[in-house]
Amino acid sequence: MHKNIVAEAGLIAHGRGEAFDYLLGERTPNFAIRQETLAVILLLEAKKPVISVNGNVAVLCPKELVALSKELGAPLEINLFYRTKERELAIKKVLDDAGADQVLGIDPDMQETIPELSHLRRIVDSRGIAQSDCVFVPLEDGDRSMALRNLGKNIVTVDLNPLSRTSLTATVSITNNITRSITEMIEIAKELKNSSPDQIKMLRGTLENKKLLREALEFIVFRLKKLASEESALEI
Residues that bind a copy of itself (CB under 8 A): 1, 8, 11-20, 22, 161-163, 168, 210, 213-214, 217-218, 220-221, 224-225, 227-228, 231-236
Q: How far is the CB of 8 from a copy of itself (least distance, A)?
A: 7
Nearer CB in complex with a copy of itself: 13/120: 13
CB contact burial 151-178 (16+ within 10 A = b; e otherwise) = bebbbbbbbbbbebebbbbbbbbbbbbb
d(CA 201, CA 71): 20
> Contact at 8 Å (CB) between 180 and 28?
yes
Nearer CB in complex with a copy of itself: 16/201: 16
DSSP notation for 77-134: EE--SS--HHHHHHHHHHHHHTT-S-EES--GGGEEE-TT--SGGGEEETTTGGG-SE
Residue nearer to a copy of itself on the CB measure, 15 or 152: 15
Cβ atoms 167, 22 nearer than 8 A: no
Q: Which is nearer to a copy of itself, 38 or 51 (CB)?
A: 38
**Of 12 and 118, CB closest to a copy of itself:** 12
Which residue number, 35 or 69, has a Cβ lying nearer to a copy of itself? 35
Q: Residue 134 CB, nearest distance to a copy of itself (Å)? A: 23
Query: Considering the complex, what minimum distance in angstroms separates the CB of residue 219 from a copy of itself?
Result: 10
CB of 224 to a copy of itself, least distance (A): 6
Q: What is the 3-state secondary structure (H, E, C) of 6-69?
A: CCHHHHHHHHHHHHHHHHHCCCCCHHHHHHHHHHHHHHHHCCCEEEEECHHHHHHCHHHHHHHH
| Helix H or strand E encompassing 158 | strand 154-158
Closest distance of CB 25 from a copy of itself, Å: 12
CB of 14 to a copy of itself, least distance (A): 6
How many other CB atoms are there within 10 angstroms of residue 101's CB atom? 11
Supply the minimum distance, in Å, between the C-beta of residue 175 and a copy of itself: 12
**Sign of the C-alpha dihedral, residues 98, 12, 135, 217?**
positive
Q: Which is nearer to a copy of itself, 28 or 161 (CB)?
A: 161
Instruction: For residue 140, give the DSSP letter.
Output: -
